[in-house]
Structure 1
């Protein structure tokens, strides 16, 4: 458990994103149930946003854009708002299932995609940040991504043309 010197929990971005995902998932699912949404609709739509991964067949850039479009809270919020304004309960229910899906993804650690390769996500880039001893005795902030790759930020003497060094070190 990460704590500060005062004994309080250290609110790292990754932990905050997981808590945010849990809150969105629980709130959206509870609202769906409270509105009397049919369970079959929830089950059918629960993984529908993941169909956006098929965009990767057109390449990583297209795949990332399509995946990100349906894996933020913006689109379901707009759909839900439009459903409320127009008096279309089905749109509200679909938006709630969609929000629950995005929340569940954040809870279990899935993130928005970068156009480099499928699986290079914003969550990976927020993964555990640690101090690492550099060869010259200098401390360099590094990041160990979820996949185990160690990344050195741009500006260090070990960064490459793209601004980061991928050492490939794994634990």
Structure 2
């Protein structure tokens, strides 16, 4: 099951790359912005609950799709790009086993524990 989920996330990441490829942005914007959603981890400097809230918000694929659709409807390439990056980043994280966070610990995710036991 784990490899099935990872293959699904890989397909979604590649789809985000396809969407990006169909924009007018230079190729280097994709890798340059790919880790930007991890800025949301700053909430963990306050506490686990706030950290999980901001992290999960920035890594929610529904939000990524909403941002992309708003950008498409409003004909805003920068907003479309933000949605693509959010979606690609979330897929990449899940491909590597980093899921949405539980409030008790950064290491506890919907995909299981991350890091050393």
- SS of 2:111's equivalent in the other structure is helix
Aligned equivalent of 2:8: 20
In structure 1, C-alpha distance between the alignment counterparts of 2:109 and 2:10, rounded to whole Å: 19
- Following TM superposition, the consecutive aligned residue runs of length 4 or more in structure 1 with deviations greater than 4 angstroms are 145-149
- Name the larger-Rg structure: 1
Counterparts in 2 of 1:111-122, with a 5 A limit?
111-122=99-110
- Provide the aligned length of Structure 1 versus Structure 2: 117
Question: TM-score w.r.t. structure 2 length?
Answer: 0.90
Counterparts in 2 of 1:74-93, with a 5 A limit?
74-93=62-81
Per-residue deviation at 1:90? Answer: 1.5
**2:97/2:114 contact within 8 Å kept:** no
Per-residue deviation at 1:104? Answer: 0.7
Are 1:35 and 2:52 matched, yes or no? no
**1:20/1:106 contact within 8 Å kept:** no
Task: After superposition, give the CA deviation of every residue in 1:132-156 in whole Å (9 maximum; x if it has no partner).
Answer: xxxxxxxxxxxxx55576xxxxxxx
Question: TM-score w.r.t. structure 1 length?
Answer: 0.63
- SS of 2:18's equivalent in the other structure is helix
Larger RCO, structure (CA 8 Å, separation 6 or more): 2
More helix by percentage: 2
The runs of 5 or more residues in structure 1 that have no matched partner are 1-11, 125-144, 150-171
In structure 2, C-alpha distance between the alignment counterparts of 1:103 and 1:146, rounded to whole Å: 16
In structure 2, C-alpha distance between the alignment counterparts of 1:105 and 1:30, rounded to whole Å: 18
In structure 2, C-alpha distance between the alignment counterparts of 1:123 and 1:48, rounded to whole Å: 22
- Compute the RMSD of aligned alpha carbons: 1.7
